Structure 1
Amino acid sequence: MAYQWPMAAYELFDERYPQMVNLGLPAADVTAVRGAVKDMWADEPGGWVHEWTRLASGYAGAGRHDLAYLAYGWAKFPVLADEAKRTALSRQIEQYQRAAAGFPVPFERRVLDLPYGGSTTPVPVHLLGPSGRPVLVASGGLDSWKMDLHPLFVQLVLHGGVQVMAFDLPGTGESRVPLTASGGFEIVQGLIRHARALGNGRVGHFGFSMGGYFAARSGLSGAVDAAVDQGGPVRDSFTESNLQRLMFGMADIFENTLGFERRPELEEVLALMVDFPLDALLAQDLNCPMLAVNGADDVHVTQTDTLLFEGRRATDVRLVPGTGHVAASKLHEVIPMIAAWLTDHLT
């Protein structure tokens, strides 16, 4: 169970509007919802989940399941802190599967039972693209999950020559376990093993936002054949000073994924962050080919967490000017670049 916190909805629109539009929703519809939303948590007219759900149900009624699942994705954003948002997620899953017949790539949904903490945990994955290719294990971050990033993943399939295996990070989406550094990577390792047997034996890892942290960990440890970190925290973003400066509710979003059921004290969060920085792996020279890319104006992830990859063997770095976290306002430029990089280094 997650928790709510004081949050001005207009601030989220200020930050996420480019992502909402660049991942496929009509700008006019996003603008209309933006004007209607007055409260972040109220499940009533003017409430975030209510207004996004109204848009999504309208799409669904018109047979536009491709737009409906995206809108339901924003309805459940940013965390599953109440029943209305959990309902929105279940409707997103339903609409996504209805939209699948129109996907431009083959689609299959599976639920894998993967090792976790001495036992196992179910991990739903979406396979996108033809079989027999290199498999790209891929995830979003703390609040943008596998279905939310479907349009991005499709572009990587179409232009990067891969089959994508999309999953939700622990503490998010359909995951049943909280986020930890070691537990999350244990799940990633299980996905990588499955992926090696699924395609042609070559496996890459793509991570968006917090997913980039785990892609960086896969790449630095040599667990995959190529890794792309798009806007992931790596080292300096896990400091106390950075946590305190986070904007747009990101600190509370992170704390929700860690499993807190009420707003924690700073010391409680810092105690769970000690295992996240990748200093030990950064000090080694085990990495596969890697690409680190982010917007130069990111307010969540420090520039140094991208620039620290400069000078590493077999590593490319792109700090994109004039855009923020994950280069959201320039995805139309960044995703083709990533797809071309994957073609060169994985396929």
Structure 2
Amino acid sequence: MKLSIVDLSTIKPGETASDALAQSLETARNADALGYHRIWFAEHHMAPAQASHHPELLIAAAGTQTRRIRLGSGAVLMNHYSPFKVAEMFKQLEAMFPGRVDLGMGRATAGPVIDMAMRRHRDAQPVDDHAAQVSETVAWLHQAFPAGHPFAGKPLIPTVASVPESWLLGSSPGGARLAAQIGIGYSFAGFINPQAAALALRGYREAFVATPFASGAPRAMLGVNVCVGEDGEHGRRLALSVKGYYQRLTRIGATAFVPTIAEAEAELGAAERDEPTQIIGGRWPRFVAGSAEEVRQTLEQMIAQSGADELIVQDMMADPQDRRGSHARLAKAFGLSGETPS
């Protein structure tokens, strides 16, 4: 089982975005040493709790400080960008770090102000062209435009033969179908829509069409919120910081910061504090937490039910030391072959 990390560059209370970005690079170095397969960086805009606004910049920085771990985006929000620009950017990253770059593509709204600010033609009505955006980006990377197309015969950086791995990220069956039709990898955000994860990933495998754009076999990845403690009680206590952030998002919106554990304890009600962190009655939790053994057993159930061949863990604990401690305990639980970071 491959284990990977998606990093949001969470800002610890009392610290700055500069501090958080430095911590993201430290996380990448630690993940590389521990034996994680890849680390992806998120794209968030005007989100005070996260400092990762442009994953391409963190990919470039992390590439110079790591040895073998794959580096990617989780995800580039394709509804805001030109497919040419995205493809060329990631082709250049592939030129810098051959065989290590992933282009994870997704879409999201960041609210009306940001969505408008990122649009070039502001008088035109927005359209849902996500499938076309993804398909065109893949075509640029693989020189796959049909004869007669105005973009045919115009390769990106022709002296670089390798291309980044293409992935589609989503939280609905529609994204799974699109990834399967194009023949690229699919990563399902189980931390957004846990109850739909198994069905979507199984559907992706069943509908997968082999194309020249990847290995020819489905690659199914499951994203999960994970907090691994020194024991069960410690792991569930670590998860309070993440639960508290979700509660703040519901209560005050995108301006929320991630709370410390102490702040979350004061703000959460009993039902929120006690929200399950394991599979109960067949229902998947939004947060998987506990001891290394408890977490491993829950994740193995999720793997078996979804058919995922890779797990990518998200954690938004306020303290970066808590996050990296959780990464180390999870790596040990799954027997990753790496070294223990100092």
TM-score normalised by L of structure 1: 0.35
Higher relative contact order by CA 8 Å / sep ≥ 6: 1 or 2?
A: 2
- Structure with higher Rg: it is 2
TM-score normalised by L of structure 2: 0.35
